[in-house]
Structure 1
Amino acid sequence: MTRTRAYRDGALHKEDFPVAAVSDFLAEPDTTVWVDLCEPSEADLAELADELGLHRLAVEDAVQEHQRPKLDRYDGHAFLTAYAVRFDAESGRVTPSELAAFLTPRALVTVRKDDGFDIEAVVRRWDQGADLAKAGMPFLVHGLLDYIVDGHVEAVQALDEQVESLEDLVFDDRPDQSHLQHRSFQLRKSLTKLRRAVLPMREVISSLMRPDLRLADELTRPYFEDVHDHARHAAEQTESLRELVTTIRETQLNLQSNRLNLIMKKVTGWAAVIAVPTAVTGFYGQNVPYPGNGAPSGFWASTVAVLVLSVGLYALFKKKDWL
């Protein structure tokens, strides 16, 4: 599955042409080419690598999965790895989609490791920002990074709402402890995945803005700085959310422990109250003579003792907030 586009003088010139024609378009002045490949093998990239002079190590990284987000520089081109993310609010899961890209002076080659990366959304951004197309390669790179970083920001905001909902559940009168534990664990796991995709993007974009790469010129620098600012904000918020989820988990355990202590306190208080009639009736159940033995006065004395002592203990425990 291959997509191709050629831009000339800031306008879309042609698209969906064969990969073999890339070198022909690059031979024309003021022309920028984009090639997109989905799940290619190393052999699939061989022809393109020969035409564009791509480094062998970069080609190997492009087809291998689970690369960290990075920007590697080679002679004549740079190699970028990044992750787009999708967040499912119902399950609380973050799904990353890996993307590799080769950046040459006049060509952008994107390599998707799976079809989860919505490349059509990137194309729509390019079409909507056609006024920047005259910048050439920086225009394509900015649109790609802008889509990825905006996805990070949306995922962070959605997770923020989930964490706020989790906070409300913690302070319910009768919280579902099992659901809380599962949800907090799932959110922490999702934040860990998101952190791996989001945090390195600050350094990646900073490296792309270096003058020697000649991407962020006078026209495009404000756009790259805007993307960098969003990436930095997403990274900072991701770190804050991880700490907040940890705090919520600790608060949940503390509240659970406090509730258990309160229950034990009440059970102990009631046990003390119940012990009074047990002791009194046990005393009057002796098989030896005692004052009031076999007489109505003994019954009434024991009854009064049970009532007075039980009510007295209950009032004392209630005053001390033990019941």
Structure 2
Amino acid sequence: MMKIYRTRDKLLTRADNMEEGSWVCLTAPSEAEVRQVAATLDIEPDDLFAATDPEESARISLEDGYTVIIVDIPYQVPGSGEGIYSTIPMGILLTQELVVTVCSVETPVIGDFTSCRVKGFSTRKKMRFVYQLLYRAATMYQQELRLIDRRRQALEKNLSGDLRDSDLVELHGLESTLVYFATSLRANATVLDRLTRYKRLEQYPDDRELLDDVIVEIRQAIEMTSIYRDDIKGTRELFSSILDNRLNNAMKYLTSITLLMAVPTVVSGLYGMNVSSEGMPFASSAAGFGIVLGLTLVICVVTAWFLHKKHML
């Protein structure tokens, strides 16, 4: 889908033509739309298609007459659980006349601009627009990271109850998300570092300050990702320790019960042997059966008391 926007009197309006100072927004574009934009703006179609490739890495390149900027942004996979994300590329192409954004899905990074929720936004100020997009992407990473940490804390609260397999699977999903975030954030930081060195891109003092803010936000997101990865690693190890401890306790109790059951089994086995009754205690007594049962019960009670004192029962 292709939409063209233009800022007039601080208001964002739809436009019909790709005029100077416009913003061409491509969301999951068709091949015909990509080729139309490429032909109109003299852009290589492959540079537009690159932003729709989920395997494309973040980069910046200076082409003949335009600049290609590709960064990674968070994306929640449909049907995944809360806090489970991946990353997808978002392309920004700067020409002498306008800005083109390309993304394979609708994302809040671009949606905030189309909904006029960003202050000081103008399609005419191309570099400021680019930095505002990058700033929104950085803050979105931080929002999702806080959501991931809250979900981890919620899983930790279930440690005292029954641990389900789904909890361990979800924890693994959160850890995988942080791996994707860490990789994408480092790549985005490299893009920003190269932006500060390019003289071809015209930058004003206010734009430079905004770029510095973006760099700070990206670094903060990288630090948050590292901290939360360590937290999840600790939570996973705690899960493993608790499961091992519960298994050890279960095996200890089962061993104690087996030991208690062995007492009457041994006694009944001895009296069940096919030998003369003259040598068996209480065999000739009328109350022998009850005496044997009583002695067996006493031995079991003493054994249970001993195991209890040793914290094994």
TM-score (normalised: structure 1): 0.79
Equivalent residues of 1:98, 1:117 under 8 A apart: no
How far apart are 1:4 and its partner, in Å?
A: 2.9
Instruction: Provide the C-alpha distance between the structure 1 equivalents of 2:49 and 2:27, rounded to a whole number of angstroms.
Output: 15
1:145-224 correspondence to structure 2 within 5 Å: 145-169=134-158, 171-176=159-164, 178-210=165-197, 212-214=199-201, 216-224=203-211
Q: Name the counterpart of 1:229.
A: 216
User: CA offsets, 1:212-265, max 9 Å, x none?
Assistant: 244554222222222222222222323433444344334323322221221111
Instruction: Provide the C-alpha distance between the structure 2 equivalents of 1:147 and 1:297, rounded to a whole number of angstroms.
Output: 89
Q: Name the counterpart of 1:294.
A: 284
Instruction: Provide the C-alpha distance between the structure 1 equivalents of 2:258 and 2:63, rounded to a whole number of angstroms.
Output: 78
Task: Report how many residues are paired.
Answer: 308
Instruction: Provide the C-alpha distance between the structure 2 equivalents of 1:215 and 1:322, rounded to a whole number of angstroms.
Output: 75
Q: Name the counterpart of 1:28.
A: none
Equivalent residues of 2:34, 2:49 under 8 A apart: no
Equivalent residues of 2:48, 2:102 under 8 A apart: no
Q: Residue 127 of structure 2 aligns to which amino acid in structure 1?
A: P
Q: Name the counterpart of 1:136.
A: 125
Equivalent residues of 2:6, 2:123 under 8 A apart: no
1:1-323 correspondence to structure 2 within 5 Å: 1-6=1-6, 12=10, 15-20=13-18, 22=19, 25=20, 32-41=21-30, 44-46=33-35, 48-49=37-38, 52-55=41-44, 58-62=47-51, 64-87=53-76, 91-92=81-82, 93-94=84-85, 96=87, 98-116=89-107, 119-124=110-115, 128-130=119-121, 133=122, 136-169=125-158, 171-176=159-164, 178-210=165-197, 212-214=199-201, 216-286=203-273, 287-288=275-276, 289-290=278-279, 291-296=281-286, 298-299=288-289, 301-323=291-313
**Aligned CA distance change for structure 1 residues 183 and 50 (closer, same or farther; 3 Å):** closer
**Aligned CA distance change for structure 1 residues 63 and 168 (closer, same or farther; 3 Å):** closer
Which stretch shows the higher mean deviation, 273-282 or 244-253?
244-253
How far apart are 1:209 and its partner, in Å?
A: 2.5
Q: Residue 125 of structure 2 aligns to which amino acid in structure 1?
A: G
The secondary structure found in structure 2 opposite 1:254 is: helix
Q: Name the counterpart of 1:29.
A: none
Which stretch shows the higher mean deviation, 133-142 or 105-114?
133-142
Equivalent residues of 1:135, 1:219 under 8 A apart: no
TM-score (normalised: structure 2): 0.81
Equivalent residues of 1:83, 1:98 under 8 A apart: yes
How far apart are 1:304 and its partner, in Å?
A: 4.5
How far apart are 1:321 and its partner, in Å?
A: 1.1
How far apart are 1:46 and its partner, in Å?
A: 4.6
Instruction: Provide the C-alpha distance between the structure 2 equivalents of 1:312 and 1:14, rounded to a whole number of angstroms.
Output: 86
Q: Residue 126 of structure 2 aligns to which amino acid in structure 1?
A: M
Superposed CA RMSD: 3.3
Instruction: Provide the C-alpha distance between the structure 2 equivalents of 1:46 and 1:284, rounded to a whole number of angstroms.
Output: 95
Unaligned segments of structure 2, at least 5 residues = none
Equivalent residues of 2:263, 2:299 under 8 A apart: yes
Instruction: Provide the C-alpha distance between the structure 1 equivalents of 2:10 and 2:193, rounded to a whole number of angstroms.
Output: 28
How far apart are 1:140 and its partner, in Å?
A: 1.0
Instruction: Provide the C-alpha distance between the structure 2 equivalents of 1:52 and 1:240, rounded to a whole number of angstroms.
Output: 44
**Aligned CA distance change for structure 1 residues 300 and 108 (closer, same or farther; 3 Å):** same
Q: Residue 94 of structure 2 aligns to which amino acid in structure 1?
A: L
Q: Residue 205 of structure 2 aligns to which amino acid in structure 1?
A: E
Instruction: Provide the C-alpha distance between the structure 1 equivalents of 2:219 and 2:71, rounded to a whole number of angstroms.
Output: 15
Instruction: Provide the C-alpha distance between the structure 2 equivalents of 1:204 and 1:61, rounded to a whole number of angstroms.
Output: 16
